[in-house]
């Protein structure tokens, strides 16, 4: 079973970062699994009178809708509070267990090396914590002693939101689909035209090679001992 495992801090992180690439490569894999660490309830932009429980329900529903359009096999919500994600040994263990359970060849996640702090949204605490705990879990998962269960070594890490990308995926043909998935997160975007402009004119313009692209720092995980 060939698997892609995608980690995000919030609903919509993956739609911003890597769904164009996932659409292109998914045909080569049996399954795609999403793991969403927090409920995203504090990023709500519409109907501010709703309770936290209702906001959580809506954000989960939006993420499921976007994932279904892509053909994601399963969406796992870890249920942490939005804005308060903490690096803990219990969280690392949960991530290790997921890696060992699904045995992915590829993992998508935030880049833990990017700490330039140039943007309040990009360098959200939850993003930083998620990036580090997933990176550490990838090491721990391949170690035969650290955690119970059969070790698993992934083949590649695709790290998004990187300030030093070394790989650009051409998503020119996927840009409309990427925007369609982002638009599923209606509670986040009162004026989606601004989001569309941001994606087309900034996020997807990190290289001149392609009209639209997604940028990653790709790490090959080699075993040399």
Q: Which CATH architecture has domain 3-220?
A: 3-Layer(aba) Sandwich (3.40)
Q: pLDDT at position 164, please?
A: 96
Q: pLDDT at position 89, please?
A: 97
Distance CA 126, CA 160 (A): 14
> Residues 17-47: pLDDT tens digits?
999 999 999 999 999 999 999 999 998 888 8
Question: Domain spans of the chain?
Answer: 3-220
Q: pLDDT at position 70, please?
A: 98
pLDDT in tens, the chain (225 residues): 799 999 999 999 999 999 999 999 999 999 999 999 999 999 888 888 899 999 999 999 999 999 999 999 999 999 999 999 999 999 999 999 999 999 999 999 999 999 999 888 888 999 999 999 999 999 999 999 999 999 999 999 999 999 999 999 999 999 999 999 999 999 999 899 999 999 999 999 999 999 999 999 999 998 776
């Amino acid at each position: 079973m060939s698997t892609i495992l995608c980690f995000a801090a919030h609903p919509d992180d993956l739609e911003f970062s890597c769904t164009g690439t996932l659409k292109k490569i998914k045909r080569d894999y049996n399954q795609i699994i999403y793991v969403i660490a927090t409920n995203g309830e504090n990023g709500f932009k519409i109907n501010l009178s709703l309770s936290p429980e209702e906001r959580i329900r809506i954000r989960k529903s939006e993420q499921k809708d976007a994932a279904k359009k892509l053909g994601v096999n399963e969406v796992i919500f870890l249920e942490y509070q939005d804005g308060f994600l903490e690096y803990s040994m219990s969280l690392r263990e949960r991530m290790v267990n997921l890696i060992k359970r699904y045995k992915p060849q590829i993992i998508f996640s935030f880049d833990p090396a990017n700490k330039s702090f140039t943007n309040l949204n990009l360098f959200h605490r939850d993003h930083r914590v998620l990036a580090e705990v997933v990176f550490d879990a990838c090491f721990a998962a391949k170690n035969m002693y650290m955690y119970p269960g059969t070790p698993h070594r992934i083949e590649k890490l695709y790290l998004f939101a990187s300030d030093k990308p070394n790989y650009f995926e051409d998503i020119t043909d996927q840009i409309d689909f990427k925007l369609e998935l982002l638009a599923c997160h209606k509670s986040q975007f009162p004026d989606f035209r601004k989001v569309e402009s941001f994606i087309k004119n900034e996020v997807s313009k990190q290289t001149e090679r392609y009209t639209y692209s997604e940028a990653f720092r790709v790490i090959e995980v080699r075993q040399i001992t």
